[in-house]
Copies of this chain bind each other. A is one copy, B any other.
Amino acid sequence: MFPKNAWYVACTPDEIDEKPLGRKICGEPIAFFRGADGKAAAVEDFCPHRGAPLSLGKVVDGKLVCGYHGLEMGCDGKTIAMPGQRVRGFPPIRSFPVIERYGFIWIWPGDPAQADPAKLHHLEWAENPDWAYGGGLYHINCDYRLMIDNLMDLTHETYVHSTSIGQKEIDEAAPATKVEGDHVVTSRFMENIKAPPFWRMAMRANGLDDEADVDRWQICRFSPPSHVMIEVGVALAGKGGYNADPQYKASSIVVDFITPETETSHWYFWGMARNFKAHDKALTASIREGQGKIFGEDQEMLERQQQNLLLYPERNLLKLNIDAGGVQSRRVIDRLLAEERGAAAPASTTAL
């Protein structure tokens, strides 16, 4: 149950620089590669000749050459050539709209006619030299919506990430959730607290006294289909918190792109964008490593939660105030799904 008419992150550019990449997205096996002029492309990972996965082949002059019998596939899903064959009558395979931007390859798994580049999630920091980004990819065996729930309710940091970014005060600060069209924002503010270990590290990196009292904030922003950007940070207490002058702050954006693989698994692209010491690559690597460890702590919980929900599919879960971010995000997704079904129905009727 995932919207198909949407831009999802499929991979990072480096994953297709050397050779094609096979990755299942929204239930479909897809081969990603660089076509003519290095432009990213995506086609079904299914050779029209004998069904071999095209991603096991290689790219030659911008064509995806099947590694089984040499069929040459174009970026548009049409066979360009095959040794000793006339290929004009070969059935095409699906190709998918793809955009390379902001350091990611994005795919539109649904109706290509609706694949408007303007609908791509805008990442202002990604094109700003004052910002640095580092991130990674995890494969998680649970419904992508459980990850959205996870990220829209950071109460879990106190428990899952108790040694790094969790702290008791998160529990004590009730979050506020508001819905703005297709966007959901859940915010939490804590004042006059001590920073947890991760933020002490960031304060030191910013030249701030890591023993000082701070105001801390977490602003989780859901955008369809399944992106969660979280503004996080601390400022020296009483300097304005989220709105404090940068000299008193350590802050960043937690970046989460959650791409469904199947109904019960997803690709989790996580990372952090920051606007301090943007050119310090060692710091980028160090933050990335630390974040990777922290975000890895969620995996067992999410996968075991998924197993429990599969065992008891009829049970109703609680929807508390802390769950409002996830609950509202799912409502947006449900509405998009209904719209896709509604749009699909007449078309299908016409086809009859």
Interface residues of chain A, those whose CB is within 8 Å of chain B, are 29, 45-46, 48-53, 56-57, 65-70, 82-85, 90-91, 149, 153, 155-156, 158-160, 171-172, 174, 300-301, 304-305, 307-309, 311-312, 315-318, 320-323
Contacts and interface: CB of A to CB of B under 8 A. Distances in A.
Nearest to A304: B53
A51 to B, nearest CB: 5
Cβ-closest 4 pairs across A and B = A83-B171, A53-B304, A51-B308, A52-B305
A269 B29 CA distance: 31
Contact of A153 (B69, B301, B320): B69
Given A53-B308, A84-B321, 14 more contacts: A29-B308, A29-B311, A50-B149, A50-B317, A51-B315, A67-B159, A67-B301, A68-B160, A69-B153, A69-B155, A69-B159, A70-B155, A70-B158, A83-B171
Contacts of A300: 56
B51 A322 contact: no
28 contacts: A29-B308, A46-B308, A49-B317, A49-B318, A50-B149, A50-B305, A50-B317, A51-B305, A51-B308, A51-B312, A53-B304, A53-B305, A56-B300, A56-B301, A67-B159, A67-B160, A67-B301, A68-B159, A68-B301, A70-B171, A82-B320, A83-B155, A83-B171, A84-B171, A84-B321, A84-B322, A85-B320, A85-B322
A149 B52 CA distance: 12
A311 B53 CA distance: 12
Give the interface SS of chain A, mostly helix, strand, loop or mixed: loop
Contact of A320 (B49, B156, B312, B323): B49
Nearest to A65: B159
Contacts of A315: 46, 51
B159 A308 contact: no
Contacts of A56: 300-301, 304
A162 to B, nearest CB: 9
Contacts of A321: 84-85
Contacts of A317: 49-51
Contacts of A323: 50
A90 B46 contact: no
Contacts of A65: 159
Contacts of A304: 52-53, 56
A323 to B, nearest CB: 7
